[in-house]
Amino acid sequence: MKKVYFLVVLCCLVALPTLALGAGFPAKQITIDIGYAPGGSTDLVIRALAAETSKILGQPILITNSPGAAGNVSLGKIKSQKPDGYSLSAAPTANVYRIPHMQKTPFKASDLVPIGEFSQYQYGVAVRSDSPWKTWEDFIAYAKANPGKIKYSTAGIGTGQHLGMEYVAQKNGIKWTMVPFKGGVEASMAVLGGHVDAISQTTEFKDHVLAGKMRMLLAWNDKPLISFPNVPTAKQKGINVQVATGITLWAPKGIPQDVVETLATAFAKAAQTDAVKTVCLKFDMPNDFLGPKDVAALVRTQDKVMGDFIKSLGLGIYSKK
């Protein structure tokens, strides 16, 4: 009798993992916290992505916003969440390999696990249409001749669009001031309101350029933007700086690999829907997907590359000031 009882208990214990796995993931609502204010490129793309992924997974996906520190506030919050796949953060891939070289961050790369990178940001420099600067050369010439007079907006310290401007400043002996905002929408409004002279940012300014309220002077990406093929790129102007990064979903370390794979597969499928592609097109953003392993490899490589680059500029944690 005792032997039979022991075998029954043993069988139940062996079956527990199978029963847990059989319960399935996800079994409840997933939350994605976005590291920027509502209305910007990251926010709108992730909201569209979440809506389509919710249909695939059969569970609701709640969106919250924790703007601040160029997306780092959200990443700092997510690292302490339970690593079960129900709490994710949406922030630029470069926040994990670039910004830690610029400033102290509330997380380490080892605190986070990538689910996937779903699109790449497109960047540019724009000014108000009634400004005296018709070309990039006009803008640079004025900045050289008027040290300290130019103020430009971005969505945060240590972002690619910030580093690009500082690289140009150092190469040309320019002194200008970066004014950080919690998102690209606010950064754009600062230009339109005359509070700053220019914006170096992802393409939240696109509609204002198309409406004739702003003028785009430069595209930071290697290739011209889809909507502005005649705007010169940094590469064409001999500016040798890499500011590109993508939108990545992050989970706390310790998340089970099968949950990572389930999420990555669902989000990758959602990224190819017309609804998500339409929102990406609004910001000229491609739908290039990178899986968890590829993102992790990218972070390892770029941490060294960007560390050396920022150090060469004497910025961030390498500043001697």
Sheet (strand 112-120) strand order: 61-65, 30-34, 87-92, 246-252, 112-120
CATH number of the domain that 36 lies in? Answer: 3.40.190.150
Report the chain's mean pLDDT, rounded to a whole number: 90
Of the candidates 74, 47, 39, the one whose C-alpha atom is nearest the C-alpha of residue 188 is 39
**Six-digit token pair at 92?**
């630029």
**Six-digit token pair at 254?**
């310790």
| Beta bridge mates, 134 | none
Task: Please tell me the pTM assigned to this model.
Answer: 0.83
Note the pLDDT of residue 5.
Answer: 40
Lowest-confidence region among 17-31, 41-55, 72-86, 231-245? 17-31
Instruction: Give the single-character DSSP code of 232.
Output: P
Helix (H, G, I), strand (E, B) or coil at 289: coil
Residue 20 lies in a domain: no
Residue 129 near residue 205, CB atoms below 8 Å: no
Lowest-confidence region among 43-52, 155-164, 292-301? 155-164
Residue 1 reports pLDDT greater than 50: no
Q: How many domains does the chain have?
A: 2
Percent of the chain with pLDDT over 70: 93
Residue 126 reports pLDDT greater than 90: yes
Do 132 and 93 fall into the same domain?
no
Position 189, amino acid? M
Question: What average pLDDT score do residues 137-150 get?
Answer: 98
Range(s) of the domain holding residue 198: 123-219
pLDDT tier, 17 (very low <50, low <70, confident <90, very high otherwise): very low
Note the pLDDT of residue 4.
Answer: 41
Do 130 and 277 fall into the same domain?
no
